[in-house]
Structure 1
Amino acid sequence: MRIMPAEDTDRSVRCERPPTEVGSHWPAAEWNETATDYPRDACIHELFEARAREAPESVALVLGSDVLTYGELAHRSNRLARRLLDLGVGPDVFVGILLERSLESVVAALSVLKTGGAYVPLDPSHPPEQLAFQLEDTQAPVLLTRTALRPLLPPHTAAVVCLDSDWPSVSRDSTDPFPRLGSAEDLACVMYTSGSTGRPKGVMVTHRGVVRLLFGVDYVRLGPDSVVLHMAPPAFDASTFEVWGPLLHGGRCVIAPDALPSARELGRVLREGRVNTLWLTAALYNVVIDEAPEALASLDQLLIGGEALSVAHVRRGLDRLPTTRLINGYGPTEGTTFTCCYPIPRTLGQDTDSVPIGWPIGNTRVHLLDDAMRPVPVGVTGELYVGGDGIARGYLNRPGLTAKAFVPDPFAASPGSRLYRTGDLARWRPDGLLEFLGRTDDQVKVRGFRVELGAVEAALRRCPGVAGAAVLARENGPGGLELVAYVTAAPGSLQPQESDLRTHLAACLPKFMIPSAFVPLNSLPLTPSGKVDRRALPRPDPAARRGETAYVAPQDEVEARLAAVWGEVLGVASVGATDDFFRLGGTSLTALRLVTRVEHAFRVRLPPLALLRAPTVGELAAVVRAQGSGERPVGSSLVAIRAAGMAPPFFFLAGGTSVLDGRGALYLHRLAELLDPGRPMYTFVGEGFDSGIATDHLVERLAARFVSDLRADFPDGPYHLGGHSFGAFLALEMARQLQKLGKPVGLVALLDPLSPLYPKKLVRRERRWAPPVRLANHSAVGRFAESAGKMWERLAPRTVTVAPSIPTDSLDPADSPDTVIPPTEEEIRLGFIKESVARYTSIPRPFPGRVTLFRPLEAPPGHAGFSCDDPFNGLVPLVGPGIAVVPVPGNHSTMVWEAGLRVTAAGVEEGMRRGAGIGKG
């Protein structure tokens, strides 16, 4: 048996098997010495409950700003389980779950397990015909969903519980735990996979199979410090590892948002969630490692699988991710997610032309057998059979297919053991590693999903006007495989239109099984034996993907550059302004690649789902122009700096005009990092100027907008607010408006709200909260702006060097220093004028609450005469004596550099724990 040491400095894999001559046999018993101690008789929910009792306050689930602790997850699932028991759910009773990846989907699955029942994840993106089959196949008496998804359900007789509208009723049930229901041999879930005839197969997975996946294994390290990203659809078997892996070990499951439009966004989710363990399909890994390998740099463990790995991309990953452990994971759903794994050594041989799938994981057996079910020698190709505790019970309601695929194990010591016949071809290497070689049939993996080509062909032949059909999986660049359909028309019929074929297939096949390209043929090429000659099927013509749309040349440089990027990503020689990305063969993976390249090429940040909203070159060019010109889409002013975390969020407004013009302050991400790891942090960005000049009462108007957007996303307090310089004025006004609305306000953290760059005369007036002028009209605004401009001319020689001096450790980790566009001197000048006018056109109103003043210890060089000598920055007349003061290293500008941010973050945390000021002024 191989040994994987807990700590191996070069992360190499050590194996006790000595090299073996090719052609020799290895005793089956020694090949499969994988028995380890693990909680063999425990159920999934029992192991979770043990963790919940140990640490009920630990974070279990995170989705954006929504968090559930272990105790909360246990209580919610207990309530829902009682409702399910009342509806007749019990051991081996099926419960359908029609939900997207969400907190509710995990609560639903756990509640079903607690009743002894088995959950059946139903994918909302699947066509009605497939959902109808699954409901009929399982005869599930209960369905869990939410109100908005209920219309997707086909006709059925099940009782429906909507986890949003019905929750007030469910929440009245008891949270108390109840006695054990079910056993390790009972079913935990039913996962549907593609069937060769077009009829999906329901794989019946047991509790023991899942527990065996996660305990007594050495291919991955799982524990209380594990943070795993749940990115697979709930109906995909990888979700079994992503959800139960962390939750059964006391770790944290971070749920990915619905769409990750670029590698940069994936990297941001990983960093903000502090994810250290991730599973990716091989195709998605290839795209990310090509386009933005730094997105994966924060990971400790990266599992890759779903299809054969590219050696070149693995080597690139080993080079670009020096502290990340790469693991090749192999296994069919029938073997419960992983059967064999290979922690890839950093010294991967230069002569290696394929990445092995490794050895069987703990309590799993594998055999390579010939047609007579005899073991094949080392180096000889055989069919891979899987045995052990991970083997599924079989296929639901398919006894004939079960008997064919799940066969008696002739090598087992105990009677009744079975082997699953995978249909995969492999061979043992002389060094004792398994090497995957292909399939015995026409099953393929497309973006990690198992696809039976025969199922797609059967669906095509049912389309009106189709006589014959063949489907191939062809390489589509480093993004993986794409399905290409070849169709012939029925006698006397016109060739079916691609749009009609897509419409028909969409009604009976999930999206990942719908071909990317359709090639009409007069007849299918045949071999001498009369079978379809798949090698003679032509490659699809890229130009033909345009369909009936005429070519339109790009209209300007932006469109021309975009068309060039599209052509490179899609492998299309000529891309026009009206060409649709997805009609040209684009997929979710190539979309990720395209968005990343466009962002780098144009130095813009594309909004989420950009390609879905703007799928042509011309439409995307408009988005790029808007982003490049500084225009922002209409929407909420609330922007997440770090959305993940269970602690109360901190809402902070940056200084200067970053809060007004959308530039954003570079130090915000660093401040978020220095706060409690579980604390979300948000900022606000608004458009506050017309033609570059502020209007009257801007602070009040901006604060009102920010408060409105804040309450829309966070209706309940207490609200913890902060701001620097001009942002402090806004934070104080927001606190006042929230308090006036009857909302609880916690910490109000003001980082030097009086700018030391103003002359002493204005500072004195500002300290009394009396503006130097009453600006009643635009002409008065203009006059004051002119005065502020003259003031800037006097101060600029000593001030303009401040902004570019921001150290690189304050940059957003998603940006490299060479991609950050610093403000120009003119932008700094206009910002000074804008801020001056905005501050002096507003009359601050009293805030009857406590505040914490973060006051810099230094004055800017050359500006000591302009500093306010009041230790409370003139706040007493406005807020009263309840002011706590925190000294911060640096001056007004440098207090948001590293040393000052550390002190500020500690003061904010202390203040939030107390709910207001952190001491006496």
Structure 2
Amino acid sequence: MTVGGGVVDRRSGAPFISVHGTVSGHAARRPGDVAVVDADGTSLTYAELWRRAGWTAAALAAQGVRPGDRVAVALPRSARLVIALLGVARLGAAYVPLDSHAPRARLELLVDEARPVAVVTGDDPSGLPVGPVRVGVPAAAPDAPVPDAPDVDADTPLYVGYTSGSTGRPKGAVITHGAVRSFTYAPDYCPVRPGDRVAALANPAFDATTFEVWNTLAAGATIVVLPDVMTLPMQEWAELLGGASVTSMFLTTSLFDSIAREAPDAFHTVDNVLVGGEALDIERARRVLDHKPPRRLVHVYGPTETTTFATAFLCTGENLTGRSRVPLGAPVQETRLRVLDEQRRPVAPGGTGELYISGPQVAAGYLDAPELTAERFVVLDDGDRAYRSGDLVRLLDDGELEFAGRIDRQVKLRGFRIEPAEIEQALLATGLVSAAVVEKTGEAAGGALVAFVLPADPAHTAGLTARLAELLGERLPGYMVPARWLVVADIPLNANGKTDRRRLLEIAEEAGAPVPGVAQPAAEPADADDPSSSGGAGPLAELYAVLAELLRLDRVGPDDNFLELGGNSILALQATSRLRARGGADLNPADLLFAETLAELAGPAAAGPADTAR
């Protein structure tokens, strides 16, 4: 089955316009329009953005970067990040976005894979790997002349986006100018026009940055860099969102889920709220639609290999009626979808098959990985080149598609794609375990990774999981470090001789190990005189109770560490919001995330109950 009809060339007969060419046009026609507003309030017009991107291109060219080269960009979400991305594009090079907060070993691995000629850095490049020449974003015109923006065609790479790999090494999808131009050209799934303001909230290494930066600049609109939701109480962040006059924004499903639980009316000033990264809970969507909703709530889906979004579904009270899940929706732009069985035959309505995605947004392939490219990017019987998503979808009788799982073990957590095999291989590489299995439990904000490890030396297990978590934290990004650990005596096998993953989760439950997403026994009544219990007295008593409830633990005490309990940034947001709603301590999510122990929060908590009217 083909969903969405044939290809429509909306630029038929016209010369190809590069991604940076659209920005050049806006700078020439409306130079005074605001292109970027940073989180500190400073702003750049289109003329200023184009000029500073030229300075960056000149600085890179002076270091030997040429059209066709790759340039790593390790900058936080900011106006400087936008300047750097545009500067690399102006040079005809391809950027490789890095998470500047990732462990150095992880960055070294990515640099080794991508082999960039240079890396654009911020004020403190000390955590970056040694190798590529480091270039800052110039604050003034460089001595070197600004190079002319080269002509590029639709097949010229614009960026390389890395995702987790099942082989133990990340894989880089090569995204072209043509793919991004198709994605950003008059998007009906989220109309953006001159004068609109699009929020920038994504980690720069996450492909949602493509939407936040290039959709906005292609339309001549304004990128509004917002503070991280975790740095402010929920209500203050919601007020900031309204005060920033944001008209469109993207949120990961986990973050949306958390906000929907705690402040469902937070989006009432926004025109378009896009949500994606994991399956969207239909009850969370309904909750937002029932509380001063945004003008449009859109569920989006798409792998990195198909340039951010491949489908979109407009959520309304009417079209969610009678459904148990939020569908994937219709293909966006010129994307085409097929649901095929194992022999690549179309499935009938009601059937389940693998989703194949084709069209101009599909990546050129994986960088320097011809075998993997041939495996995942295939030519179908009708000659169409398609990406095998690995996602199983159900073709409903009404023509909608519903996510039904994965062919492989890949999972998504807080918007990031994760191959558990990569984590398992990293655990084996420590030499401390002879076997390891990693599973995901729960969904959206309640999702977490659980690691089951067989120690290499059964006589020495004390402190093993803490050491493993420490070693993984030095090699993998934080979202790939399991939140729960269980040391096992053996790895159970099923009748086919494969790892019995269901049995592992049963063992964890039987052992009393708290596993997110797995029902836990009800907590025994706590001793009201014990300040270390989740029901004790003292300024943190309410916090202990909230955390025990969220994390499904019997007891929480002052010596506990929030992250070691299984907490994450999304759960920190929920915890502090619930605490304020109950009149408890006035804490921010960052307080929980950075405290070594909960006891450290006694001072801020003792300052007084939260002002819930703020």
TM-score (norm 2): 0.91
Given the superposition, is the C-alpha separation of residues 468 and 40 from structure 1 closer, same or farther in structure 2, using an over 3 Å criterion? farther
Match of 2:195 in 1: 225
Deviation at 1:409, TM superposition (A): 3.1
Aligned pairs for 1:520-599 within 5 A: 520-537=487-504, 538-539=507-508, 552-553=532-533, 556-599=537-580
Deviation at 1:92, TM superposition (A): 2.1
Aligned pairs for 1:120-519 within 5 A: 120-148=96-124, 150-156=125-131, 158-163=132-137, 167-168=139-140, 170-172=141-143, 178-258=148-228, 260-261=230-231, 262-412=233-383, 417-475=384-442, 479-490=445-456, 493-495=459-461, 497-519=464-486
> Gaps spanning 5+ residues in structure 2: where?
516-529
Aligned length: 591
3-state SS of paired residue (1:500):
helix
Q: Deviations over 1:572-607 (max 9, x none)?
A: 122223222222111100000011112222266435
Match of 2:524 in 1: none
Deviation at 1:378, TM superposition (A): 1.8
Contact 1:277 1:300 in 2 (8 A): yes
Deviation at 1:426, TM superposition (A): 0.9
3-state SS of paired residue (2:605):
helix
Distance, in Å, in 2 between the alignment partners of 1:611 and 1:264 is: 17
- Equivalent residue for 2:32, pick from 57, 69, 75: 57
Identity, % of aligned positions: 36
3-state SS of paired residue (1:61):
strand
- Equivalent residue for 1:98, pick from 69, 74, 84: 74
Deviation at 1:542, TM superposition (A): 6.6
Distance, in Å, in 2 between the alignment partners of 1:93 and 1:310 is: 42
3-state SS of paired residue (1:427):
strand
Q: Deviations over 1:137-186 (max 9, x none)?
A: 222111110231x2112231x222123xx645x545556x8354322210
Distance, in Å, in 2 between the alignment partners of 1:202 and 1:311 is: 32
Given the superposition, is the C-alpha separation of residues 608 and 557 from structure 1 closer, same or farther in structure 2, using an over 3 Å criterion? closer
Match of 2:87 in 1: 111
Distance, in Å, in 2 between the alignment partners of 1:40 and 1:345 is: 39
3-state SS of paired residue (2:211):
helix
3-state SS of paired residue (1:602):
coil
Deviation at 1:553, TM superposition (A): 3.8
Given the superposition, is the C-alpha separation of residues 197 and 577 from structure 1 closer, same or farther in structure 2, using an over 3 Å criterion? same
Given the superposition, is the C-alpha separation of residues 610 and 195 from structure 1 closer, same or farther in structure 2, using an over 3 Å criterion? same
Q: Deviations over 1:202-226 (max 9, x none)?
A: 1100011111111143211111132
Distance, in Å, in 2 between the alignment partners of 1:377 and 1:482 is: 35
Deviation at 1:349, TM superposition (A): 4.0
Contact 1:465 1:493 in 2 (8 A): no
Distance, in Å, in 2 between the alignment partners of 1:614 and 1:625 is: 16
Contact 2:551 2:567 in 1 (8 A): yes
Contact 2:548 2:554 in 1 (8 A): yes
Given the superposition, is the C-alpha separation of residues 344 and 34 from structure 1 closer, same or farther in structure 2, using an over 3 Å criterion? farther
Q: What letter is aligned with 2:68?
A: D
Match of 2:525 in 1: none
3-state SS of paired residue (1:479):
helix
Contact 1:284 1:447 in 2 (8 A): yes
Q: Deviations over 1:796-834 (max 9, x none)?
A: xxxxxxxxxxxxxxxxxxx98xx26xxxxxxxxxxxxxx
Q: Deviations over 1:822-856 (max 9, x none)?
A: xxxxxxxxxxxxxxxxxxxxxxxxxxxxxxxxxxx
Match of 1:45 in 2: 20
3-state SS of paired residue (2:159):
strand
3-state SS of paired residue (1:303):
strand
Aligned pairs for 1:67-78 within 5 A: 67-78=43-54
Distance, in Å, in 2 between the alignment partners of 1:40 and 1:342 is: 32
Distance, in Å, in 1 between the alignment partners of 2:320 and 2:133 is: 57
Given the superposition, is the C-alpha separation of residues 469 and 62 from structure 1 closer, same or farther in structure 2, using an over 3 Å criterion? same
Q: Which has the larger displacement, 599-608 or 462-471?
A: 599-608
Given the superposition, is the C-alpha separation of residues 359 and 626 from structure 1 closer, same or farther in structure 2, using an over 3 Å criterion? same
Match of 1:883 in 2: none
Deviation at 1:480, TM superposition (A): 3.4
3-state SS of paired residue (1:151):
coil
3-state SS of paired residue (2:290):
helix
* Greater radius of gyration (CA): 1
Aligned pairs for 1:785-824 within 5 A: 819=613
Match of 1:85 in 2: 61
Q: What letter is aligned with 2:503?
A: A
Given the superposition, is the C-alpha separation of residues 69 and 120 from structure 1 closer, same or farther in structure 2, using an over 3 Å criterion? same
Distance, in Å, in 1 between the alignment partners of 2:253 and 2:193 is: 25
Distance, in Å, in 2 between the alignment partners of 1:196 and 1:73 is: 39
Given the superposition, is the C-alpha separation of residues 542 and 578 from structure 1 closer, same or farther in structure 2, using an over 3 Å criterion? farther
Q: Deviations over 1:316-368 (max 9, x none)?
A: 11111344311110100000001111112330343211111011112111111
Deviation at 1:457, TM superposition (A): 1.1
Given the superposition, is the C-alpha separation of residues 460 and 265 from structure 1 closer, same or farther in structure 2, using an over 3 Å criterion? farther
Contact 2:168 2:422 in 1 (8 A): yes
Contact 2:92 2:149 in 1 (8 A): no
Contact 2:91 2:149 in 1 (8 A): no
Q: Which has the larger displacement, 30-39 or 265-274?
A: 30-39
Deviation at 1:507, TM superposition (A): 2.1
Distance, in Å, in 1 between the alignment partners of 2:223 and 2:20 is: 16
Q: Deviations over 1:359-408 (max 9, x none)?
A: 11121111111111121112211111111000101111111101111111
Contact 1:232 1:238 in 2 (8 A): yes
TM-score (norm 1): 0.61
Contact 2:35 2:44 in 1 (8 A): yes
Contact 1:37 1:216 in 2 (8 A): no
> Gaps spanning 5+ residues in structure 1: where?
1-25, 630-814, 821-921
Report the RMSD for the aligned CA atoms in angstroms.
Answer: 2.4
Distance, in Å, in 1 between the alignment partners of 2:563 and 2:599 is: 14
Q: What letter is aligned with 1:35?
A: V
Q: What letter is aligned with 2:492?
A: P
Contact 1:228 1:254 in 2 (8 A): yes
Contact 2:72 2:116 in 1 (8 A): yes
Match of 1:35 in 2: 8
Distance, in Å, in 2 between the alignment partners of 1:528 and 1:295 is: 50
Contact 1:473 1:484 in 2 (8 A): yes
Deviation at 1:259, TM superposition (A): 5.6
Contact 1:566 1:575 in 2 (8 A): yes
Q: What letter is aligned with 2:177?
A: H
Q: Deviations over 1:851-892 (max 9, x none)?
A: xxxxxxxxxxxxxxxxxxxxxxxxxxxxxxxxxxxxxxxxxx
